Amino acid sequence: MSAILLLVLGLGGMALGYFLYSRFIAKVIYKVDENFRTPANEFEDGVDFVPTNKFVLWGHHFTSVAGAAPIVGPAIAVIWGWLPAFLWVTIGTIFFAGVHDFGAIWASVRNKAKSIGTLTGEVVGTRARSIFTIVIFLVLLMVNAVFGVVIARLLINNPGSVVPVWGAIAVALVIGQLIYRGKMSLPLVSLVGVVALYFLIYIGPSVPVSLPEQVGGLSDNAAWILILFGYAAIASLLPVWVLLQPRDYINGLQLFVGLIALYAAVLIGNPTVVAPMINQDVPAGTPSMIPLLFVTIACGAISGFHGLVASGTTSKQLRREPDARFVGYFGATGEGALALAAIIAATAGFASLADWQAVYTSFGQGGVLAFVNGGATILSQGTGLDAEVAGTMLTVMAALFAGTTMDTGLRLQRYIFQEWGEIYNVKWMSKAAPATLLSVGTCLLLAFGAGGADGSGGLLIWPLFGTSNQLLAGLTLLVVTVMLVRRGTPTIYTVVPLIFLLVMTLYALLIQLKGFYTKGDWFLLTLDLVVLVAAILVSLECIASLRRLKQERQQSGAS
């Protein structure tokens, strides 16, 4: 099986989805209106509400939602064979993610650009909003703890990437100063920044950095996790223009370059997919494909996190309502393209089936390392780049993504603590520094509490991230569906994904609950129960609010 075929089928399907299906959704279901005055125009204040060019907004939306998840999820999920992961990423992007992201922007734009949390309270009910806050906090906690582990492992397995990963921070600090203080031309600074970053990637393998196996009685993995959280805490307290802004910018440029390079390498090198189409011989301990496939691949197909970005910042900057199709649906397509690259790298980047099986020895083992190793082989075969440099390039790409998501996540978690401090009148908690310490503390508690001295507790809860994230997506789809029912437009296109998501999430949670009980893992069992209760409540809210609406419509029809 040629990887080019996979690439063409996947991208072709997504392109058809964008050009045909999204147009249909825009016209018939959401009925986007050229003349509708968007909140960006209505409340333009130069601060939050600013009408923005659709291509720029797409770039912002896409790079904000693209974290390490579209790479980690699919690269783990190919353990069941390439076909299930490929089908879910392609079909999920076209019929689920696109409709969800587009819908989240549309719903928010039609409601004064309110965030999906506030909208849930208004459209569905206050109970649903309370569930929403708990689920968001859990998702953030998991993202931060998981990404700490993912980056630590990447740095240990690829010592050549340590210099470029940390060097990227220095590059960002310098370009931030050049732009703000030096007032230098942006295209020039961008060029200098990208060249500096790739120079670091080039020299990285010749100056490998590894921590000693024991650092003050801790393993190197644990030490890296502590260093990373220390960094994220500082980064989340610094003014945005000093580090975060230039770092995200250079990261976005790197994503475009990396993705184009990987796809070009597949087209030139034409690698063969060595992984089985459907893996009959999965390693012992691998959970059942249904429902775990759908919660393992979160951001590659449908993800609730996208709804938070779509309704949080994107909707406040939408210039024209029809732009929501390009920004939302095509943003999801970009994410799908990244997930497709991860699938190709993790299945076609190995010399033989035996090599592939040697990596996928147990569930959760392949992951981002398979993406880096496989992708590096494809890159070096396709473009003639040195294999080690190609490996460093992909490691830096994955680590930078996880890094930026981690420090944004920590910042958001800090806001939640500060908000709680203000609501419950706890003065010290509403200040930035103690709230940051609390956020880092809870993440470390999860990393070291569930994972022991190794600090890898984050990875253990990865499947729980999938379920809570899908729940968020379910809530967003519920809000959109309720709005559609009120407008009297067909709801089947959002109800089917909604039901599918809720059924798979509940099913996955129950299976995991049984697993944690058998293992006697009380910590994860408790977390699982929290998410399970939230999922059941969301399902009940769905039924109740849709039934209420139906009655209202019948009554108004009768009178």
Partner 1 sequence: MKDTLTRLKYWYQRASAAGAEYYNAPYRAAIARAKRDEDDLFMLLVFGEMMGIPNPASWYTLELQPLLLERFHDWHKRMGMERSPLDNMRCC
Here the tokens at position 260 are 């184009």
Minimal distance in Å, beta carbon 64 to partner 1? 6
d(CA 174, CA 249): 13
Minimal distance in Å, beta carbon 171 to partner 1? 14
Handedness of CA 77, 83, 86, 90 (dihedral sign): negative
Minimal distance in Å, beta carbon 235 to partner 1? 13
Minimal distance in Å, beta carbon 61 to partner 1? 9
- Buried (b) or exposed (e) across 165-174, using 16+ Cβ within 10 A? bbbbbebbeb
Nearest to partner 1 of 63, 439 (CB atom) = 63
- Buried (b) or exposed (e) across 217-256, using 16+ Cβ within 10 A? ebbbbbbbbbbbbebbbebbeeeeeebbbbbbbbbbbbbe
Minimal distance in Å, beta carbon 107 to partner 1? 21
Minimal distance in Å, beta carbon 48 to partner 1? 5
Q: Give which of 341, 333, 195, 191 is closest to 262, Cα–Cα.
A: 341
Nearest to partner 1 of 78, 197 (CB atom) = 197
Minimal distance in Å, beta carbon 45 to partner 1? 8
Minimal distance in Å, beta carbon 148 to partner 1? 23
Nearest to partner 1 of 204, 252 (CB atom) = 252
DSSP letter string over 161-194? GHHHHHHHHHHHHHHHHHHHTS---HHHHHHHHH
CA angle 249, 165, 246 (to 5 degrees): 20
Residue ranges binding partner 1 (CB under 8 A): 46-48, 50, 52-53, 55-57, 59-60, 64, 179, 185-187, 190, 239-241, 244-246, 248-249, 252, 313, 316-317
Nearest to partner 1 of 177, 272 (CB atom) = 177
Nearest to partner 1 of 241, 517 (CB atom) = 241
d(CA 379, CA 264): 9
Nearest to partner 1 of 114, 316 (CB atom) = 316
Q: Which residue has the tokens 């921590």?
A: 211
Which residues are paired to 215 by β-bridges?
A: 218
Nearest to partner 1 of 24, 55 (CB atom) = 55
Nearest to partner 1 of 191, 209 (CB atom) = 191
Single-letter amino acid, residue 168 = A
- Widest Cα–Cα separation across the chain: 79
Nearest to partner 1 of 172, 484 (CB atom) = 172
Q: Give which of 135, 123, 127, 136 is closest to 481, Cα–Cα.
A: 123
Minimal distance in Å, beta carbon 313 to partner 1? 7
Which residues are paired to 318 by β-bridges?
A: 52
d(CA 451, CA 496): 37
